[in-house]
Amino acid sequence: MLGRLRMSIDECIADWVELSKKIFQPKHRKFNLLRVVDFLKANGRFDAEILEAGIKEIIKKRLSQRYGAAEEEDGEEGTEALEETLLWDQDQDDEGCKVFVCAVKGEDKMPVFLRSYDNEKQSDHYSADIKIWEACRATSAATTFFDRFERTSQGVRQTFVDGAFAYNNPVSRVHQEAIDLWGDKESLLISIGTGDKPDSSMTGGLKSLLAGIVDIVLATDKEDREFKEEHLDLIDAGLFYRFNVPGIARIGIEEYKKLDEISAVTKSHLSRPDTNRSMKFCVTKAVEGRVEPESQEGN
């Protein structure tokens, strides 16, 4: 949303709230035997087709706003074509916003990074022909939430599952991508968490539990600690910040009715003196060197 569709933060929040209301409706009624089967097989509890339709609707709406003239000329046909837009942004300049999402190949459980840009230093066999909606679907195929995602590329079937299995906290991957793209250029790295680790184990299908996925999914804090230990120079230079709201991890991503609670807890956390101070330092660092000084012509 922020990167490829060039949406504002407020637009992202508004669209996510509306999307959540549609997609997080159980496929089967409560106590339905099919729900038990889904649990045992680690199938998705929610309808992936509704998710796909919702994603495509957002893509069409936002891209048609950007290419309004083309939409008016081509009519419904042109609007439908927008949902098939590639993730790969061929018109992007060097300063444009670059984005990648993480997924995991269903065949061998290896991570895949789906990019909107070319990273010449990394082998990438997936990004060139994958559509925006397909990338969104691949990275959101969270076990027990939505079924795994399958697509065909050049006659070969590809299967993806949720990227959180391997990269629940992708801070190291983001740092490496920045190095690949910009080398030694000073970069500010901001990591935004989804809340502290809950006290209880993650619920889900038995298949996921037996495979030991829980340890991977809940390893965000460990990844954060290790990254900080390895990159103390970034911290000392004020180039790394992590913001992680305590308490919201206990609220599942499907609990859209608790968005008010998430908002309240987040605002309380941002009001804390230490958090507020870190944010001010972060903002100051972000704008350093980006604002051109006003020219002063003598009179």
User: Does 95 reside within a domain?
Assistant: yes
What does the alpha-carbon distance between residue 273 and residue 289 come to, in Å, rounded to a whole number? 26
* Domain stops at, among 119, 144, 167: 167
User: Does 295 reside within a domain?
Assistant: no
> Positive or negative, the Cα torsion across 9, 113, 213, 138?
positive
Q: Tell whether 185 and 266 lie within a shared domain.
A: yes
If DSSP codes are grouped into helix, strand and coil, which group holds residue 135?
Answer: helix
What are the structure tokens assigned to 164, written together?
């959180």
Confidence of residue 294 (pLDDT cuts 50, 70, 90): very low
If DSSP codes are grouped into helix, strand and coil, which group holds residue 28?
Answer: coil
CB 3 within 8 A of CB 59: no
> What pLDDT is stored for residue 77 in this prediction?
59
State the CB neighbour count (10 A cutoff) for residue 125: 9
Residue 126: CB partners within 8 Å, gap ≥ 6? 112, 114, 153, 158
pLDDT per residue over 163-216, tens digit each? Answer: 666 677 889 999 999 999 999 888 999 999 887 655 444 444 444 433 444 454
pLDDT per residue over 218-272, tens digit each? Answer: 568 888 899 999 999 999 999 999 999 887 777 777 677 888 888 899 999 999 9
Q: Tell whether 221 and 92 lie within a shared domain.
A: no
Q: Tell whether 212 and 97 lie within a shared domain.
A: no
User: Does 299 reside within a domain?
Assistant: no
DSSP annotation of 95: T
Q: Tell whether 163 and 196 lie within a shared domain.
A: no
Q: Tell whether 205 and 250 lie within a shared domain.
A: yes
| Tokens 């991977």 -> residue | 216
Q: Tell whether 190 and 281 lie within a shared domain.
A: yes
pLDDT per residue over 23-42, tens digit each? Answer: 888 765 555 545 444 444 44
Q: Tell whether 196 and 265 lie within a shared domain.
A: yes
Helix intervals (H) in 124-250: 132-139, 164-167, 171-182, 206-210, 213-217, 220-230, 232-236
Q: At what angle do helices 48-66 and 68-82 cross, to 10 degrees?
A: 160
CA distances from 292 to 4, 94, 111, 211, 239 (A): 26, 19, 40, 53, 21
Top pLDDT among 295 and 233 is at: 233
User: Does 298 reside within a domain?
Assistant: no
| Tokens 């206990």 -> residue | 250
Q: Tell whether 218 and 159 lie within a shared domain.
A: no
Top pLDDT among 75 and 107 is at: 107
User: Does 96 reside within a domain?
Assistant: yes
Q: Tell whether 236 and 106 lie within a shared domain.
A: no
Is the predicted pLDDT of residue 149 greater than 70, yes or no? Answer: yes
In terms of Cβ atoms closer than 10 Å to its own Cβ (0-12, 13-18, 19+), residue 207 is middle
Buried b (16+ CB within 10 A) or exposed e, 164-198: bbbbbbbbebbbebeeebeeeeeebeebebebeee
| Phi, psi of 93, deg, nearest 5 | -90, 175
* Domain stops at, among 118, 139, 167: 167
User: Does 115 reside within a domain?
Assistant: yes
Q: Tell whether 26 and 135 lie within a shared domain.
A: yes
pLDDT per residue over 46-86, tens digit each? Answer: 888 999 999 999 999 999 887 774 444 555 656 678 889 99
For residue 116, which amino acid is it? S
| Structural domain range at position 47 | 1-167
Q: Tell whether 111 and 235 lie within a shared domain.
A: no
Confidence of residue 273 (pLDDT cuts 50, 70, 90): very high
User: Does 52 reside within a domain?
Assistant: yes
Query: Which uninterrupted H or E stretch holds 108?
Result: none
Q: Tell whether 137 and 33 lie within a shared domain.
A: yes
The count of structural domains within the chain is 2
User: Does 173 reside within a domain?
Assistant: no
288, 286, 199: which is closest to 241 by C-alpha?
A: 286
* Domain stops at, among 112, 145, 167: 167
What does the alpha-carbon distance between residue 159 and residue 153 come to, in Å, rounded to a whole number? 11
Query: Which uninterrupted H or E stretch holds 100?
Result: strand 100-105
